[in-house]
Amino acid sequence: MTAVCIFGGTAEGRELAEYCAQLQIPAIVSVVSEYGARMLPGAEGLDIRQGALDEDGIRALLALERPALVLDATHPYAQVVTAALVRVCRELELPYQRVRREQSHYDEAGQVVVVKDAAAAAAYLHDREGAVLVTTGSKELSLFTALNHDRERIFARVLPDSKVIGMCEAYGIRGSHLIGMQGPFSTELNIAILRQTGARWLVTKESGDSGGFEEKLAAARACGATVVVIGRPPEEKGITLAEARQRLLPFSGRQSQKLSRQLYLIGMGMGGGRQLTVEAVAALKACQAVLGAGRMLEDVREWIAGKETAGIYLEQDILAWLDAHPQYRTVGIVYSGDTGFYSGSRSLLGTLAAGGSGIAGDQVTVLPGISTVSALCARLQTSWEDVCLASIHGRDEDILALLAQHERVFLLLGGAHTLSGLCRRLVDGGYGEAWVRAGERLGYPEEIIRTGTARQLLDVESAALTAVLIENKKEKERDKNEG
């Protein structure tokens, strides 16, 4: 008897297999193709079975192994296999869970045509001119090569498997019309293929985020191609990938151990990742997974290529992700600016210290970035040792009260608080002659430094990412006169 049997071959199946390997969960992983088997990790405790199974084959496997849990992570369109698994597991009284893939949401108007199946897609294209890029695999390719135009209009992107390539060649798709590649595919690569083939039509299944569906849509929009979408079968019932991981945790051979995980809380500084410290770059390269706002992840993309990423930044989302992904032992969380100055890392640090990440033994390292106040003052060639630090980025501050007490005040702006709005508050409060020096998008190529009195900058519109240094000339002059 084995702990788990995973029916996969999909991205979800591979991820669950890797999860079992990392948590030492004995598992059988059943895939159809040799290529699918090669994509799985070779790890102790993983028993990889390759070959197509009909219902009798599924019954023989499960009756012999009697797994404590069966996870069906087959493709959303593999309805025949899913139906067979449901029947066999019910018959053998084995716990079964369907792992569903989240559906994409898209506008069916304009450049998207939705059809019920591959035959309907081929029928739709029958009398329409133009090259066709088919990305639905090899099994239904014969439907498209039977179009009334010659086969020269069909281009097929399939897995780089010898049997698959041979099948495509048997249908007459070969040479430059046959593209053997393994995904996932970026939008840029899809664009390049569409332009190289000159395809006016892109045929795809609604394969969700893990299947690269959004990237196909974006590429088609960029190239002016129409997407023919084979609609997904009726909405699946089942559990999410994160829920499947939770179901696997009780089978972990490491469950009773204190698992040590290294977390890096990384301040990016300001400006497109160019203000990261050498230490922070080394940590990013060492991480298995990196979390952060989408803009942050984009800024560090050159150091995290090929790693697991999640575009999240709220504390509750980060904690939920850490709980659901204990297989990642080195995780980086990137924050804008400095981790010690109005950073989201402050609250997370407190929660992690209290054991809020769900796994005992976490090691947390904080790596500060070059702070905005340090960078702005460096640009202005002035020190900031006597500067009062404050922020009105998503919060309020009594700026007039600060200026009444300090000659120099540094502020982070953001949200509804703009440079012109700040200058209006200064003018209305009697500080129209206060000297304001503003740095917009510091560290980015389009960085701008603006200098003038609050009155002079009253009508200046600034970027969302702006920091200012205010020098209180009114207070200086009053002190000078009184002296």
Sign of CA dihedral 85, 91, 96, 101: positive
Is pLDDT at 40 greater than 60 in this prediction?
Answer: yes
Q: CATH class for domain 4-102+238-243?
A: alpha beta
Q: What is the pLDDT of residue 360?
A: 47
Separation of alpha carbons 193 and 340, rounded Å: 45
Look up residue 181 and give its two tokens.
């590649």
Arithmetic mean of pLDDT, 300-304: 88
pLDDT band at 395 (very low <50, low <70, confident <90, very high): low
Predicted confidence band of residue 361 (pLDDT cuts 50, 70, 90): low
Residue spans in the chain of domains classed CATH 3.40.50.720:
4-102+238-243
Q: Tell me the C-alpha to C-alpha distance, in Å, between residue 458 and each of 70, 423, 431, 462.
A: 66, 5, 12, 11
Q: What is the CATH number of domain 112-230?
A: 3.40.50.620
Q: Where in the chain is the domain with CATH 3.30.950.10?
A: 373-482
Q: Which of 54-58, 85-89, 182-186 has the lowest mean pLDDT?
A: 182-186
CATH class of the 373-482 domain in this structure: alpha beta
What is the strand order of the sheet 178-180 is part of?
112-115, 226-230, 199-205, 131-134, 154-158, 178-180
Architecture, CATH, for domain 258-370? 3-Layer(aba) Sandwich (3.40)
To the question of pTM greater than 0.75 for the whole model, the response is no
Residue 126 has pLDDT above 90, yes or no: no
pLDDT, position 346: 82
- Label residue 140 exposed, middle or buried (CB < 10 Å: 0-12, 13-18, 19+): middle
Range with lowest mean pLDDT among 300-304, 383-387, 406-410, 462-466: 462-466
Q: Where in the chain is the domain with CATH 3.40.1010.10?
A: 258-370
Q: What does residue 226 show for φ and ψ, rounded to 5 degrees? A: -95, 135
Q: 192: pLDDT confidence band, cut at 50, 70 and 90?
A: very high
